[in-house]
């Protein structure tokens, strides 16, 4: 296991179960909320979060059903539920208009919270987001279609499956300790069924419900995309940028889907510059 002391030391009781979260940086500094995707946790944001905390108050959290947050049978971990929880957290943190950076499914969560639930952001950065149809690989659909079957795999086979799945998100290859840290929450007694539960509850309808609204987004938007992303190809980045008025597309060479791990310095630089850019008059 990694010895990186990434600890979420605070608890919020959300409508979807207990959420673990933490805040980095000086209280009163401009707020930034980081949202992770699947099958990851806030741990993927650790380096970026610590860098941004030099000038911002950075809020990190594990979505319900992920990482250190609650996992239980019958839990609603759909993208609709996660967007609701994000709005609950913004109220709990008393953040009226923070900047938000969201990765993978977190992109859909942040977009749904903004477009459907009225969450207000100062600006929004989307990193290789799930935002456009079609999505969901054949393997993803197979796993999601039979959660009760895969949930009963022998633990060693389940761990091997999750390790292979998570590994494929990186272009450069994950360090063993990092891979262990990302896989471990899914390999407990509660984590194994939770892994397949979150896949089974999510499908394209959650982006279909908002995709036609992207043209009405009126805040500054940065779209970062790993040039070697094999999960969601770069073409989707160009398409998304064409749909969101005034958005900027930043292509990050040498990075796959897990840009935070493959090119943390480049991503941090892009986000820092975006967050510091004065608003357009």
**Model pLDDT for residues 10-35, shown as the tens digit of each residue:** 999 999 999 999 999 999 999 999 99
Q: Looking at the predicted structure, is the pLDDT value of residue 246 above 70?
A: yes
pLDDT category of residue 2 using cuts at 50, 70 and 90 = low
Residue for token pair 């608890």: 11
For position 144, what pLDDT does the model report? 83
Cα–Cα distance measured from residue 265 to residue 262, given in angstroms and rounded to the nearest whole number: 9
Provide the pairing of β-strand 57-61 with 17-24. Answer: antiparallel
Query: In the predicted model, what is the mean pLDDT of residues 110-114?
Result: 98
> Taking the CB of residue 224, how many other CB atoms lie within 10 A of it?
25
Confidence band, pLDDT 50/70/90 cuts, at residue 5: confident
| Virtual torsion, Cα 203, 204, 206, 208, nearest 10 deg | -160
Cα angle 261, 264, 269 (rounded to 5 degrees) comes to 160
Quick one: CA dihedral 85, 130, 115, 267, positive or negative?
positive
What does the pLDDT look like over 131-146, one tens digit per residue?
Answer: 999 987 778 888 888 8
pLDDT of 280 reads 56
Q: Is 275 helix (H, G, I), strand (E, B) or coil?
A: helix
Q: How confident is the model at residue 213 (pLDDT cuts 50, 70, 90)?
A: very high
Whether the predicted pLDDT of 277 surpasses 80: no
Average pLDDT over residues 67-76: 97
Higher pLDDT, 68 or 5: 68
H or E element in which residue 22 lies: strand 17-24
Please give the span between the terminal C-alpha atoms of the chain, in angstroms, as a whole number. 48
Backbone torsion region of residue 101, taken as left when φ is above 0, otherwise alpha when ψ lies between -120 and 50, otherwise beta:
beta
């Amino acid at each position: 296991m990694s010895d990186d002391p990434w600890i979420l030391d605070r608890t919020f009781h959300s409508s979807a179960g207990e959420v673990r979260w933490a805040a980095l940086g000086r209280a009163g500094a401009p707020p930034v909320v980081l949202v992770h995707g699947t099958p990851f946790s806030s741990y993927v944001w650790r380096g970026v979060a610590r860098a941004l905390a030099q000038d911002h108050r950075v809020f990190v959290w594990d979505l319900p059903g992920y990482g250190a947050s609650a996992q239980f049978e019958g839990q609603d971990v759909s993208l609709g539920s996660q967007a609701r929880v994000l709005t609950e957290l913004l109220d709990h943190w008393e953040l009226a208009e923070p900047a938000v950076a969201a990765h993978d499914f977190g992109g859909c969560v942040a977009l749904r919270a903004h477009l459907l639930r009225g969450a207000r952001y100062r600006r929004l950065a989307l990193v290789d987001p799930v935002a456009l149809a079609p999505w969901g690989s054949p393997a993803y659909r197979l796993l999601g279609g039979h959660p009760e079957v895969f949930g009963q795999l022998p633990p060693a086979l389940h761990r091997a499956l999750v390790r292979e799945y998570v590994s494929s998100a990186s272009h450069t290859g994950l360090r063993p300790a990092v891979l262990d840290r990302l896989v471990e929450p899914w390999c407990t007694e509660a984590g194994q069924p939770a892994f397949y539960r979150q896949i089974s509850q999510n499908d394209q309808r959650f982006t279909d419900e908002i995709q036609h609204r992207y043209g009405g987004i009126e805040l500054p938007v940065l779209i970062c995309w790993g040039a070697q992303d094999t999960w969601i190809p770069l073409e989707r980045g160009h398409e998304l940028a064409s749909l969101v008025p005034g958005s900027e597309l930043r292509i990050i060479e040498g990075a796959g889907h897990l840009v935070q791990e493959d090119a943390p310095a480049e991503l941090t630089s892009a986000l820092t510059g975006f967050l510091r850019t004065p608003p357009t008059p």
